[in-house]
Chains A and B, each alone.
Chain A
Amino acid sequence: MASERRLRIKTLVMVLAMVVCANAGDLMLKRGMSQIGAVRLTPSGLAQAFRLTVASGTIWIAIFFLTGFMLSYMTVLSWADYSYVMPAGAFGYALLTLLAVVFLHESVSPRRWFGVVLICVGVLLVGQTKPRTTAVAGEAVA
């Protein structure tokens, strides 16, 4: 059972890394793109947007976090079920709402709070199932 516990812990750590990287990346991307301003959908507008995004430090920080998200996502999928990781990742929506309330003092509608509660209960339910139900490269399922 020690390996089962180890599997659970490393899956949890990777899902947390995924959620943190995805949220930090999206936040930085949003900040960077707001600095650049609305993009005009013409060849010259797109070329200018490309030059500005490549030159923006904020966009590069966003790319760094989003790459971190992709790497942790790929890594966790090498051992855990897709149907385990995918809903667990939705915890990010709940986290974003909490961060918006604590740090940005945003007001949150009762409907949105209800959604956060549903996500948390759903993630807890999925979280207590077995992270892996299929055989992994050269290993049989116990």
Chain B
Amino acid sequence: MMRVILALTVLILGSTGGEIAITHGMKATGEPARLRPLELLQFLGRAMRNGWFWAGVPLMALSFYSLLILLSWEPISLVIPASALSYVVGTLGAKYILGEQISTARWAGVLLVCAGVALVAAG
């Protein structure tokens, strides 16, 4: 039980931490001027030179490995609903780390999505 909780914590914190780092990197990169192939390539080049992007990638890899380990211990109908908690953790991270404004409507939407994903994945 302890090891499942530990792996789940690594899964959730790894994926949200990684995504928050990448979001921070992408915001620093700035949006592409136009959504054309050349501009998109230059944009990707800028993103790849951003340290936050490379901080995010290993965190997401760590999260992926703990997902694989969890799936070898527990059924998918338990693992995915439990990992739906990352919607809530991610929103908290967006608010306190990225400084995004989470309105009541957005919180309500996130909680509904979290419950919905848990129900869909549980089958």
Q: Counting CB contacts under 8 A, is B75 at the interface?
A: no
Q: How far is the CA of A51 from the CA of B47 in the complex (A)?
A: 31
Since A75-B31, A77-B26, A129-B105 are in contact, a sample of 10 more A-B pairs with Cβ atoms closer than 8 Å, ordered by chain A residue number, is A74-B44, A78-B27, A82-B98, A83-B90, A86-B19, A87-B87, A90-B113, A94-B120, A115-B115, A134-B99
Q: Which of B96-117 contact A (CB under 8 A)?
A: 98-103, 105-106, 108-117
User: B113–A75 contact, CB under 8 A?
Assistant: no
Q: Is the CB of B30 within 8 A of A97?
A: no
The reply to whether A112 and B119 contact each other, CB–CB distance below 8 Å, is yes
Q: What chain A residues lie within 8 Å of B110 (beta carbons)?
A: 83, 87, 122, 126
| B35 CB within 8 Å of chain A | yes
In the complex, A97→B123 CA distance in Å? 10
Does A136 lie within 8 Å of B31, measured CB to CB?
yes
B20 at the interface (CB under 8 A from A): yes
Q: Which residues of B contact A63 (CB under 8 A)?
A: none
B113's contact among A78, A109, A119, A138, by CB below 8 Å, is which?
A119
- With contact pairs A77-B26, A78-B32, A86-B19 given, residues A129 and B106 touching in the complex (Cβ less than 8 Å): yes
Chain A 119-142: CB-based contact to B (< 8 A → 1; otherwise 0): 111111111111001101110000
Kindly provide the distance from the CB of A106 to the nearest chain B CB, expressed in whole angstroms: 11
CB pair A129–B103 under 8 Å, yes or no, is yes
Could you write out 29 A-B pairs with CB less than 8 Å apart?
A: A10-B35, A75-B26, A77-B22, A78-B29, A78-B30, A78-B43, A82-B19, A83-B94, A83-B100, A84-B106, A87-B109, A90-B113, A93-B116, A112-B122, A116-B116, A118-B115, A122-B108, A122-B112, A122-B113, A123-B109, A124-B109, A125-B108, A125-B109, A126-B109, A128-B105, A134-B27, A134-B101, A136-B31, A137-B27
A117 in complex: contacting residue of B22, B31, B116, CB < 8 Å: B116
Report if A77-B120 is in contact (Cβ < 8 Å); known contacts: A86-B19, A122-B111. Answer: no
